[in-house]
Amino acid sequence: MIPRRHVLAATAAMLLTHGTPAVAVSSSDDILAAILAARRSLTSLRARFRQKRLTKLLTIESDGELTVVTPEHLRYELFPPDDVVYWVTPQGTVHRAKGAKNAVPVARGGLAVSMPDWIALLAGDILKLKSRYEIGATEDKMGAALVRLKPKDKSLSEDVERIALRTNPDKWSSRELVVEQPNGMVTTLEFATNEKNPKIDADRMRPPSQ
């Protein structure tokens, strides 16, 4: 029997490189424009997810919730026992570790480096990321889009190898986000729900005092 972590790794690799068969009729820019059109009325997003983080030795699975308030705020939370929260605000990216009271700035490196770009990737205009990434997009026969990003900036590529997003057929909501790091770690967020324009408590988007 093939180990489960090998299956997960193969699935993530397929999404990052080849993905599912596409109906190659629309250009990448047309597909990205269609995603933006589907998100025109989107001002906030809340999505529960199952996270799978693959390292060279093991797979770590966690449950969490992602909240976005466009155009500048994101909250990424892993539920207990992880109990970790990251906030992206106009002032930067901070996180609160398990057992801590206050949030502190994120150290250089790791998954959090790409989190500010998740706002546009998951809830905004992906074309705005073209200055930072090479972007390609395909579409399957059901209308779901697969968007792949590769960093252009050297400082960004030190922490992010590739990113892939698979939308649902409605194009405004997301099914799966995969981030591959140069050290071989691959993090996959599998979204169970996407709530469009939920009422968001402003305090949840505001990190505790640093």
Return the minimum-mean-pLDDT range out of 15-19, 20-24, 97-101: 20-24
Strand 133-139 relative to strand 145-151: parallel, antiparallel, unpaired?
Answer: antiparallel
When pLDDT is averaged across residues 174-179 and rounded to a whole number, the result is 98
HSE-CB for 43 with a 13 A CA cutoff = 5
> How many structural domains are present in the chain?
1
Confirm whether 99 is domain-assigned: yes
54: Cα within 13 Å, side-chain hemisphere: 20
C-alpha to C-alpha distances, 68 to 32, 42, 45, 117, 132, nearest whole angstrom: 19, 10, 5, 11, 20
Give the pLDDT confidence of 83-139 residue by residue, as tens digits.
999 999 999 999 999 999 999 999 877 899 999 999 999 999 999 999 999 999 999
User: Is 182 within a domain?
Assistant: yes
Task: Give a yes or no: residue 210 inside a domain.
Answer: no
Per-residue confidence (pLDDT) for residue 54, from 0 to 100: 93
Residue at 151 is within a domain: yes
Residue percentage of the chain with pLDDT more than 70: 88
Q: What does the pLDDT read at residue 210?
A: 53
Note whether residue 148 is domain-resident: yes
Is 102 contained in some domain? yes
| Range(s) of the domain holding residue 82 | 4-205
Q: Which pTM does this prediction carry?
A: 0.87
The answer to the question of residue 157 being in a domain is yes
> Does 7 score more than 50 pLDDT?
no
pLDDT of residue 15 exceeding 50, the answer is yes
Look up the CATH number of the domain holding residue 26.
Answer: 2.50.20.10
